[in-house]
Chains A and B, each alone.
Chain A
Amino acid sequence: MLTHTLFFYFFSIIAIFSSLMVITSRNTVNSVFFLILDFISVGCLFIMVGAEFLGMIILIVYVGAVAVLFLFVVMMLNVAEQKQSWFIGKKSTHIPTGLIVSVLIFLELLVVVGGWKQKDNLMNSSTLEISNISNTHQLGLVMYTDYILYFQIAGVILLLSMIGAILLTFRKRSGVKKQNYFKQISRDPESSVQLLKVESNKGVKIDD
């Protein structure tokens, strides 16, 4: 039990410290690195309470995919330039907007946390029984029976946002030479090579 407690405090202190560093560090890339550290330690906390599936999914989805894309975008920004215009510049419109958003999120969190009730009996589902079946199995049993509608709606929303993102970034460029695999493979000497008789001092006109 002692080691368990020690590990809990270890991971929670790292999580809190790194989440503070996310918002205080001046270098944007560093703050993304701290965000990753935060995700990892939260994942470890999930594993410690026995939610191994959730912990691993946090590692795979957030750390392995989402944070990589974050890093990808943030690395492209010119960090040094931003340092001046964001924090010192006079015409900064980011701070009031950010304040409004953060106050809103804080209020929402208050509402959510205020409505929390601790249940003695967490198992309140028609299909779930207390047994030895694994975490993943139990999640599947609940997700595909009681909450199938929400699960499917979440999937549809994700699909929609994916299509939206593709639509936003898709542009048809003209004049780009692209390789057409079928065209390339189906070429043969008869259709693409011709023998010309070149007249002296006149040359040939090659069409391209």
Chain B
Amino acid sequence: MLEYFQILGNELYKIVFLLVPMLVSVAMIVWLDRRVWGLVQKRKGPNVVGPFGLFQTIADALKYIFKEIIIPASANKVVFILAPIVTMTLALVAWAVIPISEQIVLADINVGILYLFAISSLGVYGIIMGGWASNSKYPFLGAIRSAAQMVSYEVSIGIIIINVLLCVGSLNLKDIVLAQKDLWYVIPLFPMFVIFFISALAETNRPPFDLPEAEAELVAGYQTEYSGMMYAMFWLGEYANILLMCAMGSILFLGGWLPILDVYPINLIPAPLWMILKILFLFLLFALIKAIVPRYRYDQLMRLGWKIFLPFSLIYLVLTASFLFYFNKLPNGNF
């Protein structure tokens, strides 16, 4: 029995050492997002609390904790409370399989990328549950919009992942990174990278695809009835999801923890730092796009997902497969 406790303790400290930096970096990333947004619009952004305003998010979180949680009288209480918890949990749980370097990974599973895809496709439940349980018009409309949006963009993300997997020949995230030792997939699969990035924007409900919470049309979408810590949990979960998508993008296309060039001064930088730098780079793009692109209309969004991205990524899939087959570069043996 003692052994189990030892194993449990061992795993628990690993989980704590993954989750605490994760949550801190979510707080920092919220600050970065607001800061970039401000700078693009020639404002200063949050710069009062702490050095450069770094503690702004923590101050906000404290404020949210001390606010009263209001549950509408006509809401379905269990589902209403469950929704933010689901969002937050799913966003954090997915980080279990992300390899920060060749050694540092919590769970090195065979089907890592499928796990990531599954967890990110479950993310829609938090939103639907919140929207439905609120029993109010705007949250419900927001939930319906987001359900349709996330399901449709998932399809193209799936096909993009297949594109990468064809070149790797394994579903393990470590193998996917190690296969890019010579050439990052962003170069041969550049169109797929662009589509992945845009689909990730839509999947995380970021501007220009933030229709579920379009404030001009739907007040705040599915979050309208939420207050206090429950709202903050939605908000943190959303940012954790965005970070997750950035991590996914850097693993699939930007070579994970691998340095740009494997030459002397560059490869002295430790592997986790490379991973963090790549995630930050992708996040910076996310933040810039939020600041400079106007919101899409709903029919434009659907058209983009189904009529442009889906056929294009399918055609690219066929092209990749035939290229690999013709030049006999398929991984895992020749056919």
A-side residues, CB < 8 A to B, are 2-3, 29-30, 33, 36, 52-53, 56-57, 59-60, 63-65, 68-69, 71-72, 75, 134-137, 179
Contacts and interface: CB of A to CB of B under 8 A. Distances in A.
A68 B124 contact: yes
A137 B165 CA distance: 12
A57 B128 contact: no
Contact of B79 (A3, A33, A179): A33
A14 to B, nearest CB: 15
Contacts of A29: 76, 79, 132
A60 B110 contact: no
Contacts of A64: 118, 121-122, 124, 154
Contacts of B10: none
Cβ-closest 10 pairs across A and B: A64-B121, A59-B118, A56-B114, A60-B118, A52-B111, A134-B110, A56-B111, A75-B132, A56-B118, A72-B147
A36 B125 contact: yes
B151 A69 contact: yes
A60 B114 contact: yes
Q: Is the interface of A mostly helix, strand, loop or mixed?
A: helix
A3 B114 CA distance: 25
B316 interface: no
Contact of A57 (B114, B148, B151, B332): B114
Contacts of A3: 4
B186 interface: no
Contacts of A135: 110-111
A57 B111 CA distance: 10
Interface residues of B, number: 29
Contacts of B151: 65, 68-69
Contacts of A2: 4
A52 B115 CA distance: 9
A26 to B, nearest CB: 13
Interface in B299-329: 299
Interface string B236-258: 00000000000000000000000
A135 B125 CA distance: 29
Given A64-B154, A71-B128, A75-B132, A52 B110 contact: yes
B110 A136 contact: yes
Contacts of A134: 110, 170-171
A121 to B, nearest CB: 24
Contacts of B110: 52, 134-136
A33 to B, nearest CB: 7
B294 to A, nearest CB: 16
Contacts of A71: 128, 132, 147
B235 interface: no
Contacts of B140: 75
B205 to A, nearest CB: 15
A137 B332 contact: yes
Contacts of B129: 33
Given A56-B111, A75-B132, A136-B171, 5 more contacts: A33-B129, A63-B118, A64-B154, A71-B132, A135-B111
Contacts of A57: 114
Nearest to A71: B128
Most chain A CB neighbours (cut-off 10 Å) among B114, B129, B140? B114
A138 to B, nearest CB: 11
A53 B117 CA distance: 12
Interface in B124-158: 124-125, 128-129, 132, 140, 143-144, 147-148, 151, 154, 158
B109 interface: yes
Given A65-B151, A69-B151, A53 B128 contact: no
B114 A65 contact: no
6 contacts: A3-B4, A29-B79, A65-B151, A71-B147, A136-B171, A137-B332
Given A33-B79, A69-B151, A72-B147, A60 B111 contact: no
Nearest to A59: B118
Nearest to B7: A3
